[in-house]
């Protein structure tokens, strides 16, 4: 039976999750294992489940990955992906790579990245994806820290590698030929291996290593609030989490075309750009070009994208081109579900999406350390604009006080997750003390996020624990003030911090990026303060408001309040090299 969705879109299939309350109350991860055919005696190799399972069945010739750089297209079917990843796993084996050794991938979002990543995991090694935004010093530090045995990179990027500082690096696999534009020809190294030649000489026969649910498969670096990036360890056992949330949250269906805009060196681009869609057997779009409003709408239209997972920052960039833009030469009638990740989703973006696409945006909350989606806005539940949503089935979330006690609705505290979900990190590389710190109040994983839960079970993000403002003995979450400031027509972005104050303990200061049509003035500052007072109350009015050209953000779009505070107080801003 066909029913009509928003703006007359046909809805051929029902949502994967229809009754949240019933499913949440009865859900068991063991049932997902049974559905996927996972048993204690069988291999849990996630790459085999994501690729080989489909290649051996009726979907062998179905497109798994479709690549587009704005000019040219490419594609890999599930069968092609199986054979190529077998070849790469055999290449690593021929280079002497042992199980659990680290293989670093310093590549753009190209076919070779996906083949290398999946082949590394399939062969039993641990993949270490590294963003191509890293320059020499940061790259070398992460290669040294991870003790990578093999690096896969391009001829254009290899000159950033300080090999003399990397005693564990045995071989470098080079994709493509020629140095970067304007760069000198690097001296040949006896440890270099040409990717194309090695792949051509490798067998495409089965090369999968056995793995159980606790076998490491990914070492992903992400930043902390201070110090150098930390390496988060994820295991093959996350397979059930990626698979199930792909259905419950992403609502992926068999014939879907799906686009996750996250780069594959960020956890979102891995968990939900690689694992989730491949485990569900859908076709994923990989856009390899630069951001452009026209190109992004072209991708959505040209490839008839059904499900789109992106960031609030990206939607804001599209929003500034005008709500009517999607209708100008681009048919988006196949698009049925939009989700975001990486930073809180402001209500005004949800309102714009309704006008622009006839669809609501569904926010999701999770972290590099959680591995997969933890809290989400589900297709079967009403959206409360600005809310993180409700926990995914199989996950228990709570707001706790400093002693680990669960707080009642409407009380602000730290967001905590009961340990034990499948995609949960299993360690911090070479830093067990840091790992234990996350779980210092058993049975909770401490997120470091401030939140409260309302009477309907929806969670509301209020900032980071170390961002909390303590004014006159009261705890104030900065996000509430930021969220209201961006509703003012003059404000595009806002960041709020607490400043030491001899009378109040801390006072509120706001930094704002203004719309070009609204120049800064004392009158505008007074109007913004009045705006906050009328809508939130006098205790939440910023004492100071400072205009700025841009706010410091991570690669995923998260606001770095600690950097704003450090600059305001004349303190070091901490590590900025790998902000996920």
* Rounded Cα–Cα distance for residues 140 and 130 (Å): 11
CATH number where 238 lies:
3.40.50.12780
- Which ranges in 163-285 belong to alpha helices (H)? 195-201, 239-248, 267-270, 276-280
3-state secondary structure at position 129: strand
Burial class (CB in 10 A: 0-12, 13-18, 19+), 187: exposed
Supply the Cα-derived Rg of the chain in whole angstroms. 24
3-state secondary structure at position 509: strand
Residue whose entry in the numeric block shows the structure tokens 């909350």: 365
* Rounded Cα–Cα distance for residues 207 and 324 (Å): 51
The per-residue pLDDT for 188 is: 58
The per-residue pLDDT for 484 is: 87
Both tokens of 360, joined, read: 């609501």
In a domain? residue 186: no
Both tokens of 296, joined, read: 């992004």
Same domain, 520 and 405: no
* Rounded Cα–Cα distance for residues 517 and 511 (Å): 18
* Rounded Cα–Cα distance for residues 119 and 284 (Å): 18
Q: Tell me phi and psi for residue 33, to 5 degrees.
A: -60, -45
Same domain, 50 and 78: yes
Q: Tell me phi and psi for residue 92, to 5 degrees.
A: -60, -40
Q: How far is CA 495 from the centre of its chain?
A: 21
* Rounded Cα–Cα distance for residues 482 and 560 (Å): 13
Secondary element (H or E) of residue 316: helix 312-319
Same domain, 293 and 409: yes
* Alpha-carbon dihedral angle through residues 129, 130, 132, 134, given to the nearest 10 degrees: 180
Same domain, 168 and 245: yes
The per-residue pLDDT for 370 is: 98
Q: What is the DSSP letter of 491?
A: E
The per-residue pLDDT for 367 is: 93
The per-residue pLDDT for 78 is: 98
Domain boundary among 402, 421, 451: 451
The per-residue pLDDT for 408 is: 97
Same domain, 347 and 388: yes
Burial class (CB in 10 A: 0-12, 13-18, 19+), 60: middle
Q: How far is CA 191 from the centre of its chain?
A: 34
Q: Which residues pair with 283 in a beta bridge?
A: 257
- Give residue 506's domain range: 469-569
Same domain, 373 and 499: no
Instruction: List all residues 6 or more positions away from 115 whose beta carbon is below 8 Å from its beta carbon.
Output: 76, 81, 84, 85, 87, 88
Burial class (CB in 10 A: 0-12, 13-18, 19+), 425: buried
Residue whose entry in the numeric block shows the structure tokens 């050209």: 549
235 with 426: CB under 8 angstroms? yes
The per-residue pLDDT for 323 is: 52
Secondary element (H or E) of residue 377: none
State in Å, rounded, how far the first CA of the chain is from the last one: 43
CATH number where 518 lies:
3.30.300.30
Same domain, 496 and 545: yes
Q: How far is CA 416 from the centre of its chain?
A: 19
Q: Tell me phi and psi for residue 475, to 5 degrees.
A: -90, 125
Q: Tell me phi and psi for residue 77, to 5 degrees.
A: -80, 170
Residue whose entry in the numeric block shows the structure tokens 């714009």: 352
In a domain? residue 412: yes
* Rounded Cα–Cα distance for residues 108 and 130 (Å): 9
The per-residue pLDDT for 569 is: 86
In a domain? residue 126: yes
Counting Cα atoms < 13 Å in the Cβ hemisphere of 450 gives 17
With DSSP H G I counted as helix, E B as strand and the rest as coil, what are the percentages for the chain, rounded to 5? 30, 25, 45
Same domain, 281 and 212: yes
The per-residue pLDDT for 21 is: 97
In a domain? residue 1: no
In a domain? residue 461: no
Same domain, 515 and 560: yes
* Rounded Cα–Cα distance for residues 570 and 330 (Å): 48
Domain boundary among 451, 481, 505: 451
The per-residue pLDDT for 534 is: 86
Q: Split the chain (580 residues) into runs of 10 and give each run's mean pLDDT.
A: 36 69 96 91 89 91 97 97 98 97 97 98 98 86 96 96 95 79 57 94 95 96 67 97 98 96 94 98 96 92 97 86 61 94 86 91 96 97 95 98 96 96 98 96 95 97 81 72 91 92 83 94 96 85 95 84 88 52
Counting Cα atoms < 13 Å in the Cβ hemisphere of 283 gives 18
In a domain? residue 580: no
Report the number of distinct structural domains present in the chain.
Answer: 2
| Opening angle at CA 425, ends 556 and 172, nearest 5 | 70
In a domain? residue 545: yes
Q: What is the DSSP letter of 357?
A: H
Domain boundary among 417, 451, 485: 451
In a domain? residue 578: no
The per-residue pLDDT for 186 is: 54
Same domain, 130 and 224: yes
Same domain, 42 and 167: yes
Same domain, 59 and 144: yes
């Amino acid at each position: 039976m066909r029913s009509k969705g928003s703006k007359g879109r046909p809805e051929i299939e029902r949502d994967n999750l229809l009754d949240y309350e019933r499913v949440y109350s009865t859900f068991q991860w063991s049932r997902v294992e049974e559905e996927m055919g996972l048993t204690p005696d069988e291999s849990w190799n996630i790459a085999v489940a994501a690729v080989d399972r489909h290649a051996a069945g009726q979907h062998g010739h179905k497109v798994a990955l479709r690549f587009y750089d704005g000019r040219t297209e490419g594609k890999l079917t599930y069968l092609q992906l199986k054979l190529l990843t077998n070849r790469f796993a055999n290449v690593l084996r021929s280079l002497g790579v042992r199980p659990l050794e680290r293989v670093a991938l310093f590549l753009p979002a190209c076919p070779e990245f996906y083949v290398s990543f999946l082949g590394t995991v399939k062969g039993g090694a641990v993949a270490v994806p590294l963003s191509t935004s890293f320059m020499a010093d940061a790259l070398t530090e992460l290669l040294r820290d991870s003790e990578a045995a093999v690096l896969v990179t391009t001829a254009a990027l290899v000159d950033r590698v300080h090999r003399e500082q990397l005693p564990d690096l045995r071989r470098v696999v080079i994709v493509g030929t020629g140095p970067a534009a304007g760069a000198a020809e690097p001296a040949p190294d006896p440890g270099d291996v040409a990717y194309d030649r090695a792949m051509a000489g490798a067998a495409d026969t089965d090369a999968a290593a056995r793995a159980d649910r606790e076998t490491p498969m990914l070492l992903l670096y992400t930043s902390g609030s201070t110090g150098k990036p930390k390496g988060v360890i994820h295991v093959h056992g996350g397979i059930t989490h990626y698979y199930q949330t792909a259905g419950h949250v992403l609502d992926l269906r068999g014939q879907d075309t799906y686009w996750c805009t996250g780069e594959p060196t960020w956890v979102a681009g891995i968990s939900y750009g690689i694992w989730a869609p491949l485990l569900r057997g859908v076709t994923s779009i990989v856009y390899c070009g630069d951001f452009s409003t026209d190109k992004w709408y072209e991708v959505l239209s040209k490839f008839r994208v059904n499900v789109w997972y992106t960031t609030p920052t990206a939607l804001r960039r599209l929003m500034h081109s005008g709500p009517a833009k999607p209708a100008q030469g681009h048919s988006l009638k196949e698009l049925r579900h939009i989700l975001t990740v990486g930073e809180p989703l402001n209500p005004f973006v949800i309102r714009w999406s309704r006008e622009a696409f006839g669809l609501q945006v569904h926010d999701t909350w999770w972290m590099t350390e959680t591995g997969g989606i933890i809290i989400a806005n589900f297709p079967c539940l009403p959206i409360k604009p600005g809310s993180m949503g409700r926990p995914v089935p199989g996950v228990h979330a709570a707001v706790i006080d400093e002693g680990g006690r669960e707080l009642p609705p409407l009380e602000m505290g730290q967001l905590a997750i009961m340990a034990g979900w499948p995609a949960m990190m299993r360690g911090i590389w070479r830093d067990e003390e840091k790992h234990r710190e996350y779980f210092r109040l058993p049975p909770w994983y401490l997120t470091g996020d401030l939140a409260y839960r309302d009477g309907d079970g929806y969670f509301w993000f209020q900032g980071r624990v170390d961002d909390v403002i303590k004014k006159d003995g009261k705890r104030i979450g900065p996000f509430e003030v930021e969220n209201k400031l961006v509703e003012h027509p003059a404000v595009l972005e806002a960041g709020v911090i607490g400043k030491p104050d001899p009378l109040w303990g801390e006072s509120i200061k706001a930094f704002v990026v203004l719309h070009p049509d609204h120049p800064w003035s004392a009158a505008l500052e007074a109007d913004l303060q009045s705006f906050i007072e009328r809508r939130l109350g006098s205790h939440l009015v910023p004492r100071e408001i400072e205009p700025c050209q841009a706010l410091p953000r991570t690669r995923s779009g998260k606001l770095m309040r600690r950097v704003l505070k450090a600059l305001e107080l004349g303190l070091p801003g901490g590590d900025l090299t790998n902000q996920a």
